[in-house]
Amino acid sequence: MIRKFLHRIFSFSSNESVTAGPVFRTIGSEQHGIARSRISPGSLKVATTLQQAGYSAYVVGGAVRDLLLGLKPKDYDVATNATPEEVRAVFRHSRIIGRRFRLVHVISRGETVEVSTFRGKVSDNAAVAKNMRAHTDETGRLLHDNVFGSQEEDVRRRDFTINALFYDPGTEEIIDYLNGFEDVKAKRLCIIGEPEQRYREDPVRMLRAVRLAAKLDIRIDDKTAAPIGDLAPLLLNVPPARLFDEMLKLLFSGHALAAVIDLRARGLHHGLLPILDVILEQPLGERFISLVLKNTDERVRQDKPVSPGFLFAALLWHEVLAVWNTHLQAGEKTTPALHKSMGEVLSAQRSRLAIPHRHDSIIYDIWSMQPRFQARAGRKPFRLLEHPHFSAAYDFMLLRCKSGEIDEELGQWWQIFKDADNASREAMLLQESPAGRRRKRRSRSKPAGEKVEAGPAESADQEIS
Ligand code: ATP
Ligand code: MG
């Protein structure tokens, strides 16, 4: 009881003591229009339970922003003055996660709600400073962010003003310290504080700016955008696993194409997907990547499943083709050369992108199955159909057709073959086989390597198994 009472005093007084006047604006539901019923049941329950336990608790971040913009929030975050241990004690189905940023995952009404304790100002906290050797590295990147503080301090630790609105489910009011409400209405993305310092603290904020601008269809404010080009190399300093997570968020945001185009325009892709440069310089590669991203965006927007393995296989495909071609020109055999190229491309990318090994098998399967679509005789097409990753490899092959890399006719043939009954399939193969043999004879007289660069129509006749 005493602890909870102190908590109430603490959170109240810290708000008031920072400045004399009111430091925030309270916006009523008649103005912002978000009724309690629009909040997800899980986060509503978590916030109200914490409030009933004597803590302050609000729905924060992306969910409030998205609701104001009339979008469906992807997930809900709750911010509170309770410490992670105190949150743990209130909810049975909860666990503390994260190291750089400790927070609690609470399972409530089938939802996972992220509950974070108000963050404080790192540099001013002498007690913590004593216990930690350094808060930032030599580029200014924050290494720890586990200093707790008041609600106002928490607001200032957030990234953008539109992400710093607090919704109180008890009163249905929004608390706004930094004019985030106006920025939402004006569709303007403004970083909180001094832009360069904030990007140095966490270079991922530059990627978040691009992702949010694309996803929300809003403009990055000039001051917020200005330092991005110069600071882009700081991304090289971000741990690869974090980059990978952020990259996935961007690619699966439903607005990946717009975001990737903007990343390039702002020079941000170097630290992220260096290979994008190489790929986008090749006309076929650019066409293919655009199609793949468009396709992914459509799937995300239709709530269809998307696989990181598929996407990475696609993003790196033209790199594989280029390396494969080099090996073929050096006189290596087709299939071993392909496998060698796959390994080389993936390991070169892995160190930077931290593509987890669990995606390897699908990436390798999709790539190594591609030449097998050329074989339209005998039992091979049947064996291909039975492959556990057939569907992914088939979708991939269709995108190659669409991009002009291989003949559209191959995609059409497989579309029919895949959906046909067995008798019709046999008939299709019978029809195909003499022509197939003729084509095979012709294609044997050319080095397969030429086909990769030479263009779409030729490579459709290639059989590698
Ligand atoms: P979405 O969930 O739609 O991707 P979001 O803004 O909710 O967008 P989260 O990663 O869920 O993104 O983060 C929740 C909130 O935490 C943000 O709205 C922001 O206030 C804060 N936040 C997230 N990442 C950072 C960061 N790198 N620096 C400062 N604050 C951040
Ligand atoms: Mg969120």
Closest ligand to C-alpha of residue 178 is 1
Joined tokens for residue 93: 């189905």
Q: Is the CB of 74 under 6 A from ligand 1?
A: yes
124 within a domain of the structure (yes/no): yes
88 within a domain of the structure (yes/no): yes
Residue 253 CA, closest ligand 1 atom number: 4
Closest CA to 343 of 325, 328, 323: 323
pLDDT along the chain (465 residues), means of 10: 43 41 87 96 97 97 96 94 96 90 93 95 52 64 78 95 97 97 98 97 95 96 96 88 87 92 85 62 80 94 92 90 95 96 89 81 96 90 94 96 94 94 89 63 50 33 26
> Atom 27 in ligand 1: which residue has the minimum CA distance?
205
Q: Is the CB of 163 under 6 A from ligand 1?
A: yes
- How many angstroms is it from 72 CA to the middle of ligand 2? 11
Closest CA to 202 of 96, 122, 266, 124: 122
Phi, psi of 34, rounded to the nearest 5 degrees: -100, 105
Domain boundary at 153, 186, 219, which?
186
> Atom 28 in ligand 1: which residue has the minimum CA distance?
159
- By most ligand atoms within 8 Å of CB, the mutation choice from 65, 77, 114 for ligand 1 is 77
40 within a domain of the structure (yes/no): yes
Give the pLDDT confidence score for residue 30 in this predicted structure: 96
- How many angstroms is it from 251 CA to the middle of ligand 1? 16
Q: Is the CB of 62 under 6 A from ligand 1?
A: yes
Domain boundary at 169, 186, 203, which?
186
Q: Is the CB of 370 under 6 A from ligand 1?
A: no
Span 19-52, pLDDT tens digits: 455 589 999 999 999 999 999 999 999 999 999 9
Give the pLDDT confidence score for residue 241 in this predicted structure: 83
Residue 75 annotated as catalytic: yes
> Atom 17 in ligand 1: which residue has the minimum CA distance?
61
108 within a domain of the structure (yes/no): yes
> Atom 16 in ligand 1: which residue has the minimum CA distance?
61
Give the pLDDT confidence score for residue 446 in this predicted structure: 46
List the domain range (segments joined by +) for residue 38.
1-186
Give the pLDDT confidence score for residue 15 in this predicted structure: 39
260 within a domain of the structure (yes/no): no
Q: How many domains does the chain have?
A: 2
Of 66, 124, 145, 159, the catalytic one is 159
CA–CA dist 145, 60 (Å, integer): 18
Residue 222 annotated as catalytic: no
Give the pLDDT confidence score for residue 328 in this predicted structure: 96
- How many angstroms is it from 42 CA to the middle of ligand 2? 14
CA–CA dist 190, 269 (Å, integer): 21
Q: Helices 308-329 and 390-403 sit at what angle, rounded to 10 degrees? A: 60
Q: Is the CB of 120 under 6 A from ligand 1?
A: no
Residue 77 annotated as catalytic: yes
Q: Helices 256-265 and 204-216 sit at what angle, rounded to 10 degrees? A: 130
114 within a domain of the structure (yes/no): yes
CA gyration radius, the chain: 27
246 within a domain of the structure (yes/no): no
Give the pLDDT confidence score for residue 13 in this predicted structure: 36
CA–CA dist 435, 141 (Å, integer): 62
User: Domain of 155: which CATH number?
Assistant: 3.30.460.10
Domain boundary at 186, 204, 219, which?
186
Q: Report the residue count for the chain.
A: 465
AA letter at 124: D
- How many angstroms is it from 404 CA to the middle of ligand 2? 38
Q: Is the CB of 180 under 6 A from ligand 1?
A: no
440 within a domain of the structure (yes/no): yes
pTM of the model: 0.82
